Copies of this chain bind each other. A is one copy, B any other.
């Protein structure tokens, strides 16, 4: 279970960072900008959650290898992305991003629940963890956050997954099962939204 969660975490971090790389390069940023935007996309949501919950040390402070990984990826981002422009890669990033969204959101909810916060606040903390990296990315890139514009369901998938986790926890399922169910439902709903172009009403 732990090895699987760790694999999802790495995949999610890399997928989030990739969306930062792509956006920063589209804005013609230099390597400093490419690294910073990728870093903020990957860890901005979790960092904001930790500030709100007053948790320290921050995830990326304890796991120095993640910032270093993104630093190295930023150095090779330009040649890397030139070679990776295949439909196969885009689809792989989409899968990894949906898995990461599920993992980050549900663990965010779980951390808030440990602090005995009320249920709706726990779900909000989960969604903040999952989506605010992307929100900060878009704010820094001077765009209205994509997740707030009318597109395929994204935050809604995270919100649903968080409630699945909360519901199973209240029903006394063990934590691993609830975590897994939350991640899978986020992931499945997101994949359905991409495939069938599901959107919220205007």
Q: Which of A's residues lie within 8 Å of B, judged by CB?
A: 24, 27-33, 36-37, 47, 51-52, 54, 56-58, 60-61, 64, 67-68, 71, 78, 117-121, 124, 135, 139-145, 147-151, 154-156, 199-202
A147–B52 touching, CB < 8 Å: no
Would you give the shortest CB distance from A73 to chain B, in whole angstroms?
14
A156–B32 touching, CB < 8 Å: yes
A200–B156 touching, CB < 8 Å: no
How many copies of this chain?
Answer: 3
A149–B67 touching, CB < 8 Å: no
CA distance A142 to B142 in the complex (A): 7
B67–A200 touching, CB < 8 Å: no
A150–B30 touching, CB < 8 Å: yes
Given contacts A31-B200, A54-B56, 8 further A-B contacts (CB under 8 A): A27-B144, A28-B202, A29-B150, A30-B148, A32-B147, A32-B154, A64-B119, A142-B143
